[in-house]
Chain A
């Protein structure tokens, strides 16, 4: 055993494929960094305006404090759609495609970025047609809420793209952008975490085990530190 302890791992590489034997392979500093926020853009200026208006209705700024717009959710979604998520790189995207039942989940032929693009065009086309040529972002909050309510209630259909699949994706990515670690570009200044009281990426709560139903007040921390530490 002692002799084996010091031996270097035998690694026969063929790109990623390896044969490992003899010891635990470990090279310091190799932990994989998160993709992080690249500030990439997928949306056109008009699409960005529309999405910014949408997320601001899903999680509005109000008497409780800032909402999705202030948390940078549109930047988060834009960057995500420009990256592997938007392209559906880890999703099964081979055909044939069919509408499917609700229990079968996402069945769009378009990966998330394409679905967004097609649905945003439909949404603005609907608004132009029914609101004197105005776009979704130009409508009053009450008008915007009414449209969102109709989409959610499956009372408004888009051509060529499922309005309810879009609504589900919009809601999912808005919540992600509001509550994700700030390294991904959303949850700016930890707005989402502060709203609910989530302390973030901490890894030791043993001191708090006996809280017994009392409030615990601790500053949130992200993977790359505290909001106060970040330089803009």
Chain B
């Protein structure tokens, strides 16, 4: 039996990065806000102090940091002709679970997208002519200039370290000259670079490129954010991505928002409660709340005036499908929008091996790196290249955790004495140059519900149909060649290229940058949510997260995810609350 609970003003589904941002914003207006999170309460001293955080086997390989696939996973296939099978354990990406979501175990590489990324369809078609066949790329419906103040807010919340390359239109040496204009310098200076970054900086400089420090949510110095939360300087321990930070040195909901938010009398969070669906009234045009279930299997109906999905791109999309909001996209007919334009990230790179130089990559941090943006977005002329988009190229020194990293030169066997020797010789004397490529939308890449496999509640798993597209591959070949040019100049003995070849493989870790499925846009015929992330079908429902990206740019997503969350929260506070209803007339 479903127990009906007393109503609240706002219910947030999921309590990770976007949930924390929305809660902090909406409680300022005195609204009663309840977040419902399927995972546990988690905090720095109780869950990832330095005495337990640096455990590679436990947190990453045994996946104790992430959502348990025993309860729910995805099914996956490369193309429609194949039968999707469940991802029996996570591989290519790692959905978070518990308070703080993926923000607990991110690296903290915190980017803004380029102004042209928000108008990828009109900009590229305007400059280069019609896009390739079946490319379903479209404009975001919001511009960089509109988001700029919101990027700035997130960077200040997090204490991002970096160097501005474009301050109010003025290009500044040492920063990224290709970025959109910023209204302010980064709140903190860049991270302290190490040997590998110095070599990358020299190599890219010789090639006439414009190296700059990667924007980092690992603290380059002690920092107090605008909410009064204190962060400590990063100690470069090399356990960022896939681990909680025990030093209060990485921006997360825990370090930047929760100390303030949790004290508010009008906020509460329910942990270990999973939202099963958004409940609609009989018209199907209004959400009345959500249904959730606790660890004992007790089901509850939580009524709310406003429902906001903050459950990560994958869960947000699945909840829309399971709640029957909008029509699920069908690639055979092109009908439907929910699940459309699923995109990812196209990664490639090169390892660089030195003979007599130690890179000592255990001295590392999630966002310690030098980057070039010369080959990202439309920062270079694509005429005659046969693709649009690009990616940043970087030398990040994030870690040298040995279960995860055994770099060996080309031709090394995968086991035995020769393997052992190669691992031992190169472990401290190698680095990597990586291309972080965009992923452009394609009619055949999508999400829908699996016809066979179910979760622990017997509901269909979401099915992912995805492969790298012709555009992705051409772009990646181009970027990987640029990587090679840089890597070869870094003074090493040899390099080993890791090109993006073959079909997309759901198992080796690539990135947790899943995008699309609940895309934003200019009208209800091309998008699930409007430019304020409000559902076209159900105006008292908003959808956060990278699911709203119509296609993914050549950057990590969270800076843009957070800027969009602030932008949406502003629209809710300034306009929606006064006059609940559609913020954009269809």
Contact = CB atoms under 8 A, between A and B. Distances in A.
A206 B68 CA distance: 35
Contact of B45 (A31, A64, A152): A31
Contacts of A32: 47, 52
Contacts of A96: 452
B46 to A, nearest CB: 5
Interface residues of A, number: 84
Contacts of A102: 505
A45 interface: no
Interface in A44-65: 57-60, 62, 64
Contact of B40 (A16, A62, A215): A16
B58 A216 contact: no
A188 B133 CA distance: 56
B333 interface: no
Contacts of A30: 46
A176 interface: yes
Interface in B332-376: 354, 357-360, 362-363
B150 interface: no
Interface in B186-204: 192, 194-195, 198
A31 B52 contact: yes
A195 B47 contact: no
Interface in B77-109: 77-78, 82-83, 85-89, 91
A179 B58 contact: no
A24 B262 contact: yes
Interface of A is mostly: loop
B214 interface: no
Interface in A180-232: 180-181, 183-184, 192-193, 195-206, 208-209, 211-216, 223
Q: Which has the most chain A C-beta neighbours within 10 Å: B83, B403, B427?
A: B403
Interface string A67-81: 100000000000000
A193 B265 contact: no
Contact of A205 (B91, B237, B259, B452): B237
Interface in A1-53: 1, 4-5, 10, 14-27, 30-35
Given A5-B263, A148-B415, A92 B82 contact: no
B235 A203 contact: yes
B400 to A, nearest CB: 6
Contact of A184 (B50, B57, B86, B428): B57
27 contacts: A14-B296, A17-B271, A17-B273, A18-B271, A24-B258, A31-B47, A31-B51, A88-B88, A102-B505, A104-B85, A104-B87, A152-B414, A184-B58, A193-B402, A196-B427, A197-B428, A201-B55, A203-B53, A203-B54, A206-B236, A209-B194, A211-B358, A212-B195, A212-B198, A213-B357, A214-B358, A223-B54
Given A17-B296, A212-B195, A216-B358, 4 more contacts: A148-B415, A180-B403, A184-B58, A205-B235
Interface of B: 40-41, 43, 45-58, 61-63, 68-70, 72-73, 76-78, 82-83, 85-89, 91, 192, 194-195, 198, 233, 235-239, 246-247, 258-259, 262-263, 265, 267-273, 294-296, 298, 354, 357-360, 362-363, 400-403, 406, 414-417, 419-421, 423-424, 427-428, 452-454, 503-507
